[in-house]
Amino acid sequence: MIVTGDDQAEMQNLQKYLASEFKMKSLGDLKYFLEIEVARSKHGIFLSQRKYVLDLLAETRMLDCKPIDTPSEQNHKLGLYLDQVPTDKERYQRLVGKLIYLAHTRSDIAYAISVVSQFMHFPSEDHMGTVMRILRYLKVTPDKGLMFSKYDHTNVEGYTDAD
């Protein structure tokens, strides 16, 4: 059973039923869960991972980095080449994994992450440079996230770069 909407009586009935089956405790409105911040307003619900971004920048010592306006280079030439210089595979995989998790609320970096995730088995310094570029972009945009509007729920907006 899924309860949606603002029917308080239906939500209370569900809580009573669940309490009869399980030991539970109401913690109130959701504010933070699995590194995702939840903010409610009269306009809707906003999901972001601001703290996750700042923690990631701190972990990688990039809090003081020079920011950049785009997450990836235009017409990137990333690939697997014979003359590429390898990088720390474990660190690369860990960083890309964290970025993949971040993409749940950050569709603006989804393409760049999909590109760097293709090189998880044989990462090079060029690939790591692209990961660092994504982190430099995050420095500019830690507050971005997803807005689930209360009123425009039937509109779907998409953005693309034709270049």
Read off the pLDDT of residues 151-161 as tens digits, 9 standing for 90 and up: 765 666 666 66
Rounded Cα distance between 120 and 125, Å, is 12
Q: Which pLDDT score, from 0 to 100, does residue 25 have?
A: 79
Burial class (CB in 10 A: 0-12, 13-18, 19+), 25: exposed
Query: In the numeric block, which tokens belong to residue 100?
Result: 């993949």
Please check the confidence at residue 131 and state whether its pLDDT lies above 60: yes
18 or 91, greater pLDDT: 91
Q: Which pLDDT score, from 0 to 100, does residue 95 have?
A: 94
pTM: 0.74
